[in-house]
Structure 1
Amino acid sequence: MPRAIVLTNPTSGKGQGARVRDEALPRFHAAGWRTTSLTGRDADDTLDLARVAAAEKPDALVVCGGDGMVNIGIQAVAGTGIPLGILPAGTGNDFARYFDLPLRSGAAAAVRILHGSPRTVDLGRIGDRYFGGVLAAGFDAVVNERANRMRWPRGQMRYNLATLAELRTFRPLRYVLELDGVERQVEAMLVAVGNGPSFGGGLRITHGAQLDDGLLDVVLIKPMSRRELVRTYPKLFDGSHVTHPQYERHRVRRVTIASSGIVGYADGERFGPLPLSVETVPGALQVMA
């Protein structure tokens, strides 16, 4: 009898995590799977639970929540061969979008896990931490930092207000990049490193990045006016920003990014201040897709 350990963030998606989990569990049971359902007290406790769960060698570790929960699951199963199942219940759900998983139905997402085949994909690695999506290291990361300091409002509106606040004073940043050993100094609005193509709920900043090519996509948005940045923003939803003259893309196996005062975020999680070195880890993760 197959066994899934289901790890849930019940507060994901404005409280949708528990609902999505409760829709999914009966589907597993009807298919003859045993399940163990776990909920952590906070992010650190949840990561501990995920690692203990992976040590039990289940047939799948299933995470229910947003990209932050997926990132916790990735830390636990990367390189182990244990497949990761995803019940999307967050706000952005970018990693789930990569696999075209159902975003609003726990039952439908469970069916995909039950009847899908494991797909082997790459991960990005910074030190001993992994990410599956995009590392933000510029204007987008500054917005994340401000939003995390804000207590009001909740949800997406907090990030919208943080964006407006930072846009008033933001200036291009000076970067030192090392791309597969070649150093380059540039000014840019942001640098993003993509294992996958999108972040922020479908913003395709690293449009064209593939999950299984053994490479990272490093995207630069070079200096532009605030007005032009606002005009370009909607193009991120369909990837058409790649035709902008201030867009630049490199495909590498390793990149080091340095810029004063910037904190890097990946999968929406704080990874720490620059400089950060990122390397690709081919075939590190299996996803039930």
Structure 2
Amino acid sequence: MRHPHSLTAAVIYNPVKVDIDVLRDAVNTEAATAGWAESVWFETSVDDIGQGVTAQALARGVDLVIVAGGDGTVRAVVEAVRGHDVPVGLLPSGTGNLLARNLKMTLNDMPESVRTAFVGEDRAIDLGMIRIERDDKSRDEHAFVVMAGLGLDAKMITNTDEDLKKKAGWVAYVKALVASLRDPDELHLRFQLDDHAVKRATVHTLILGNCGSLPANILLMPEAALDDGLFDVMMTRPGGAAGWIRVWMKIAWTNGIVRRTKAGRALAGKHENDGDLRYDTGAIFSARFSRPEQIELDGDEFGRAVAFKAWIEPGQLRVRVPRVVS
């Protein structure tokens, strides 16, 4: 086992999302307290949102990768860490902080988050992978830790006002959701889940979730778990205004409030699929669309897809979480 003084952390940070002076002070303090060597620092940019600088850090043989940024930065760093036996520490610095939120980590305490990165314990979680086929037949492969979405979900991301997002956080997504709901287009797809028969579907939204909790107490996928070796598939096709109300009630009320407690889960019972909202689980999901469709990964736009294949890599990622005191 390596002596603590020889252990080194790399800090990958998005300069738009963090106060670098505060971050440096916290990291230097906790590294020294834990007996680690001086950390190495890498700044992301528009041209390199995280993959390149993370690869540089890993090439230096670091023992821990700490990521300070929004969901997009986390996704990019995790994509580069894949295949390396190096844990990732999270310093929530964005609007959603979705991975940290689903891990039930502290969201608004930078010193505590930094402390956890150095002295916490590792938790193995699943990693989502997706190979996207474009209209020109080219293919590109990406990781995701939270969810991949098409239809209404992806359109909402596209319609989000970035200036409003910076000023008002998730209020910007509400405005974008309203704009997206006016879009009458639906997804027409052929899909296969694991080794089941190929099916056809027409939906407003298709989401593959590695975890299911969103801000504003929204539990989009109540059964999704980060370490079950599966992703949850959600498809919605509400019938008119009444259908949208039913879907919203199931997600915001039944999932977001009732299912948060053990008694509530017993009261709500198992979700029954219907024409408005359907859930499934699996480890491999393939789909082909009747036309190119917008796709998002962990809250960022990823262009248009004519088809994709997604799969789960169980326990592929180690994330540093608060140590459980027995």
Residue by residue over 1:232-285, the C-alpha shift from the partner in whole angstroms, topping out at 9 and shown as x without a partner, is 436535662756742212111110133334211111123342311101112211
Decide whether aligned partners of structure 1 residues 279 and 197 sit closer, same or farther in structure 2, where only a CA change above 3 A counts: same
Partner of 1:281: 313
2:284 to 219, 243, 254: 254
Contact 1:8–1:17 (Cα < 8 Å) also in 2: no
The reply to whether residue 129 of structure 1 matches residue 142 of structure 2 is: yes
User: Aligned equivalents of 2:252 and 2:287: distance in 1?
Assistant: 25
The answer to whether 1:138 aligns with 2:151 is: yes
Contact 1:207 1:239 in 2 (8 A): no
| Aligned pairs for 1:59-78 within 5 A | 59-78=63-82
Using the size of structure 2 for normalisation, the TM-score is 0.78
TM-score by length of 1: 0.88
Q: Does 1:39 align with 2:69?
A: no
Unaligned runs of 5+ in 1: none
In the other structure, the counterpart of 2:301 is 270
* Partner SS, residue 177 of structure 2: helix
Quickly say closer, same or farther: Cα 1:4–1:238, change in 2 above 3 A.
farther
How far apart are residue 104 of structure 1 and its match? 0.8
Question: Does the aligned pair in 1 maintain the 2:49–2:76 contact within 8 Å?
Answer: no
**By how many angstroms is 1:170 displaced?**
3.1
In the alignment, what sits opposite 2:32?
A: 29
Consecutive unaligned residues in structure 2, runs of 5 or more:
132-140, 257-270, 322-326
Equivalent runs, 1:170-209 vs 2, <5 Å? 170-181=184-195, 182-199=197-214, 203-209=218-224
CA shift, 1:17, in A, is 5.0
For residue 106 of structure 2, the aligned residue among 95, 102, 107 is 102
Task: Note closer, same or farther for the CA distance 1:200–1:262 as it changes in structure 2 (3 Å cut).
Answer: farther
Q: Between 258-267 and 196-205, report the one with greater CA deviation.
A: 196-205
Three-state SS of the structure 1 residue aligned to 2:12 is: strand
Tell me the distance in 2 between the aligned counterparts of 1:189 and 1:205. 15
When residues 93 and 161 of structure 1 are mapped into structure 2, their CA distance, relative to the original with a 3 A threshold, is same
CA distance in 2, matches of 1:65, 1:138: 26
Per-residue CA deviation, residues 30-55 of structure 1 (Å, 9 max, x unaligned), is: 22222112212325263211111122
**DSSP-derived class of the 2:229 partner:** coil
Letter aligned with residue 84 of structure 2: T
Structure 1 position 186, deviation (Å): 1.4
User: Residues 63 and 87 of structure 1 are in contact (CA less than 8 Å); yes or no, is this contact kept in structure 2?
Assistant: yes
What pairs with 1:107-118 in structure 2 (closer than 5 Å)?
Answer: 107-118=111-122
Q: Comparing 38-47 with 250-259, which one deviates more in the overlay? A: 38-47
The change in CA–CA distance for 1:209 and 1:20 in structure 2 (over 3 A counts) is farther
Instruction: Number of aligned residue pairs: give it.
Output: 284
RMSD over aligned Cα atoms: 2.5
Label 1:54 to 1:131 Cα distance change in 2 as closer, same or farther (>3 A). same
User: Partner of 2:223: helix, strand, or coil?
Assistant: coil
Stretch moving more, 27-36 or 127-136: 27-36
Q: How far apart are the structure 1 equivalents of 2:194 and 2:273? A: 25
Distance 2:193 2:32 in 1: 48
Structure ID, larger Rg: 2
When residues 209 and 47 of structure 1 are mapped into structure 2, their CA distance, relative to the original with a 3 A threshold, is same
Which position in structure 2 is the counterpart of 1:91?
95
Q: Which amino acid aligns with 1:135?
A: A
Displacement over 4 Å in runs of 4+? 199-202, 241-244
